[in-house]
């Protein structure tokens, strides 16, 4: 019973990964694959294991896995003496992950600044709300820079 309950929780989390990836403009299947590789007790999965567990077509899986490998999010592992490929998360350098997150924050900040620039009433309720988000992003980035400095000098 415990295994089945855990499997259901894993499946729900995998779906959340898919939904998150969709919100940032990527394919939900890519997010589900990342989710599966994240929650699976076996950290290297074969192509067949991925398609079977996620119940996705081999064509879709092939295209998405190729893209994830090209983007550096997933690594291909070949077992010595074998011809079978396995896939695992590409564990990026912590600072690469933080840099990617900062770029996303910068994109949101730029989008909100442009939105405010185009508004006739720069003190409207929405504009004030956008200023708050921009201010929060700026504070976060300042804090992140000091944390990064602390980690680098430790």
6-53 tens-digit pLDDT: 889 999 999 999 998 888 888 999 999 999 999 998 889 999 999 999
Residue 143 exposed, middle or buried by CB count within 10 Å (0-12, 13-18, 19+):
exposed
Which pLDDT score is estimated for 78? 86
User: What percent of the chain clears pLDDT 90, i.e. is strictly above it?
Assistant: 62
pLDDT band for 2, please (50, 70, 90 cuts). low
Length of the chain as a residue count:
154
Tell me if 53 sits within 8 A of 36, measured CB to CB. yes
Phi, psi dihedrals of residue 43, rounded to the nearest 5° = -80, -5
Banded pLDDT at 93 (limits 50, 70, 90): low
Confidence band (pLDDT; 50, 70, 90) for 1? low
| pLDDT at res. 136 | 95
Where do the domains of the chain lie?
A: 2-89, 94-153
The chain-wide mean pLDDT, for the chain, equals 90
pLDDT tens by residue, 77-86: 987 777 788 9
Share above pLDDT 70 across residues of the chain, in percent, rounded to a whole number? 97
Closest CA to 38 of 70, 64, 73, 71: 73
CATH architecture of the domain covering 2-89 = Orthogonal Bundle (1.10)
The residues pairing with 88 across neighbouring beta strands, listed in sequence order, are 75
Report the C-alpha gap between 48 and 113 in whole angstroms: 46
pLDDT of residue 147: 83
Which of the four pLDDT bands, split at 50, 70 and 90, describes residue 113? Answer: very high
């Amino acid at each position: 019973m415990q295994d089945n309950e855990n499997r259901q929780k894993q499946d729900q989390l995998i779906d959340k990964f898919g939904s998150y990836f969709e919100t940032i403009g990527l394919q939900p299947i890519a997010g589900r694959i990342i989710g599966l590789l994240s929650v699976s007790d076996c950290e290297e999965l074969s192509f067949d294991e991925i398609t079977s567990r996620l119940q996705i077509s081999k064509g879709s899986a092939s295209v998405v896995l190729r893209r994830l490998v090209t983007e550096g999010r997933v690594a291909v592992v070949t077992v010595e003496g074998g011809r079978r490929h396995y896939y695992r998360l590409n564990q990026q350098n912590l600072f690469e992950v933080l840099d990617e997150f900062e770029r996303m924050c910068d994109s949101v900040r730029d989008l909100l600044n442009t939105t405010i620039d185009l508004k006739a009433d720069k003190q409207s309720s929405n504009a004030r709300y956008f200023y708050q988000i921009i201010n929060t992003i700026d504070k976060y980035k300042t804090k992140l820079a000091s944390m990064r400095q602390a980690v680098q000098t430790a």
